[in-house]
Structure formats: structure tokens, C-alpha cells
A = this chain, B = another copy of it.
Amino acid sequence: MPTLLDKPPVTAAEKTYLQLRRAIVEGQIPPAAKLSEADLAETYDVSRAVIREAVGRLEGIRLVERTANVGARVVALSLEALAELYQVREALEGMAARLAALTMDEREVEDLHRLLVHHRHSIKDSETYYQEDGDVDFHYRILQGSKNKHLIALLMGSIYHATRMYRVQLGMAGPRIARAFDEHHHIVDAIAHRDAELAEMLMRRHIQHTRQEIESKLLAQSTASKAKLA
């Protein structure tokens, strides 16, 4: 998965930020967990100042909530927060698809088609191969095609991490394969035809479906844990 920071980190704070972000998103540090600066400083072998910088940045991308004089905590996952996240994502990625339809050049569109062909082969060869990476790659390409750095920073610097966090916690292998592929295909067609309106609409619908999938999984999980109590 390409990231905004493909360059190696320069400062210890940045390196620690990346490490912490990964630990949170992948679940080593679970949702709602309290973050202790002293503990983390020991774990990562840096001073507390470095941890504070890193945690401050994690707060900025909404993976962490900080309370003055109390400390920082990983955000808790909830249906409400998920809905809010996906409404934001829908708006931003809809706009990204719209812009992509207007600004992507022929070669970029070709690359996108080629990516789809590649994904189709992956689906046939192995249903577990390239599932989430394919989806992420697809969205990444559209986003780059938007040519809007602000949009890119918002989605890749923040939204996508939160999205991934839900997936990891729900043990989701990746997005729906066949239907998602169809949706990808239609989106690319709209972009290729420079139909910004349609591209946006299809992307937004695609995001809505993804949201529904995660919501039902989250509901099923909380129902299952309730059944355990009975």
C-alpha cells in the first residue's frame, strides 16, 4: 500500500508516530486502550517528548483522543462513529472520483483498466489473493487521479487508517469480491467516459455498500457477544 510518506522517517518522533499508528490500526494496541507516555517511551526506547509528539499527531488524525491532564486513549469503535466516518468518506471519495473523471489523462485511465484486468485474474486464480490490497490500490489510484492534495491527505492520512481499524477488529478479510469488482468496473468506465457526475454517484454508492457490510458485521458481532451472556 503506497503511503503519503514513502520516504524513511527523519525524526524519532515521526518514526514513532508511524510505529504507533500501525500498532493501533492493526490492533496490537486495542481500541479504547489507555496510552501511557512512560510505558510507550520505554517500549519504543525514546523520551517522553517524542511520544508526546507522536500521540499529538495521532490525535490529529483521530485515532487517539486526548484529555488535558488525564492522558490519551485510542478511540473506541462504535456504530455511530462508523456511520460518521463513512459519511465523510463517501463525500470525499465521491468528490475524488468526480475530479478523477475530469483530470485523469489517457494513460492514467489505461493504467486503471489494466489494474482491473489484473484484479479479475486475481479473483479467478485465488479468491483470497489481492482482495483488500486490490481494493485499496483501486481507491488509491482514483484518489491520485483527483490531483487534489488536500483530499489525498485527508483520506490517506486519516480516513483510511480508521477504516482499516474497523476491518481489523472485525476480522474482515477484505471487501466483497464480485460485487465490489463490478462496482469498480462501472466507476472506471464512468471516469474513462469523463462522466464526472456518474463517477461520483457510483463511487458514493460503492462506499455506502462497504459501510453497510461493515455495519452488519459489527451488529452481528455485538449480537453474538450478547448471546454469550445469556
Contacts and interface: CB of A to CB of B under 8 A. Distances in A.
A49 interface: yes
A215 to B, nearest CB: 15
Interface string A67-92: 01100000000000101110110111
The secondary structure that dominates the A interface is helix
Interface stretch (A32-40, A121-129, A146-154, A179-187): A146-154
A150 B68 contact: no
A149 B83 CA distance: 10
A215 B94 CA distance: 23
Contacts of A85: 150
Contacts of A57: 56, 60
A229 interface: no
A62 interface: yes
A10 interface: yes
Contacts of A99: 87
A151 B81 CA distance: 11
Given A53-B56, A57-B60, A92 B88 contact: yes
Contact of A62 (B52, B68, B150): B150
Interface residues of A, number: 32
A89 to B, nearest CB: 9
Contacts of A14: 68
A211 B145 CA distance: 22
Given A62-B153, A88-B154, A91-B91, 17 more contacts: A10-B68, A11-B68, A11-B69, A56-B57, A57-B60, A81-B150, A83-B148, A84-B148, A84-B150, A84-B151, A85-B150, A87-B95, A87-B151, A88-B148, A88-B151, A90-B95, A92-B92
